[in-house]
Amino acid sequence: MRKIIAGLFISLDGVVEAPDQWHFPYYNDEMGAAVDRTLGQSDTLLLGRVTYDSFAGAWPDREAAGGEDQHFAKVLGDARKIVVSKQPLEFTWRNSELLQGDLVTAVAALKNEPGERHIGMSGSVSIVRRLLAAGLIDELHLLQHPIAVRKGMRLFEEGAEPIPLKLLSSETFRTGVLNLVYAPAEAGQGTYDDAKVHLPRTDLFMDT
């Protein structure tokens, strides 16, 4: 079964909306390598319509321009791009197609298709939420920036069921960005009585 890896830029206060307005001061070679692990090393991209429109409006021109990011632009162009949209779309970017049918059912089938590389996601917050809730995302890569944006959509909305996660790895970039990799986890069980045995013992610091 193929993995789905979702990557998101996220602020210290959980905002994932409009990262182009706050994340570029923190972009360096370390972050570029992390993005490449999510997108550049996949052969299939699963994208929401808004994210797809943003990508399609920029990367084909960058590939044609032949600049420093031409190679990455070509990698994205060569990848199979599956777009989640409730409306029919006309595609001009090569290797693009519309996801057919129910999201959860179609993505579960996509994971079962043959392939040696993972399926990458970037942005597409509403899609990530639904796939996380359905247990279909294998790894969640969060690039947490040391900034409180204080406005905008957050990754996890209020009022929904908890989503337990386990930390697979963490790395601190020179800019202070945290590269956090999570995977789904089983819900933990415990009470205060279980936790209090781990509290500091104040009697150890008292004069006798």
- pLDDT mean over 133-141: 96
Check if the beta carbon of residue 17 is closer than 8 Å to that of residue 131: no
Q: Quick: pLDDT tens for 67-100.
A: 999 999 999 999 999 999 998 889 999 999 999 9
The predicted pLDDT at position 52 comes to 96
> From CA 11, how far away is CA 146, in angstroms rounded?
7
The predicted pLDDT at position 203 comes to 61
Question: Is the pLDDT higher at 161 or at 172?
Answer: 172
Q: What residue numbers bound the domain in which 18 lies?
A: 4-205
pLDDT of 32 > 60? The answer is yes
Compute the Cα dihedral for 195, 157, 42, 3 and give only its sign.
positive
State whether residue 8 is helix, strand or coil.
strand
Domain count, the chain: 1
In the structure encoding, which two tokens stand for residue 194, read together?
Answer: 């279980």
The predicted pLDDT at position 130 comes to 94
pLDDT of 105 > 70? The answer is yes
The predicted pLDDT at position 159 comes to 78
Confidence label for 204 from pLDDT (cuts 50, 70 and 90): low
pLDDT of 23 > 80? The answer is yes
Supply the CATH number for residue 61's domain. Answer: 3.40.430.10
Strands 165-172 and 178-184: antiparallel
The predicted pLDDT at position 116 comes to 87
Check if the beta carbon of residue 41 is closer than 8 Å to that of residue 118: yes
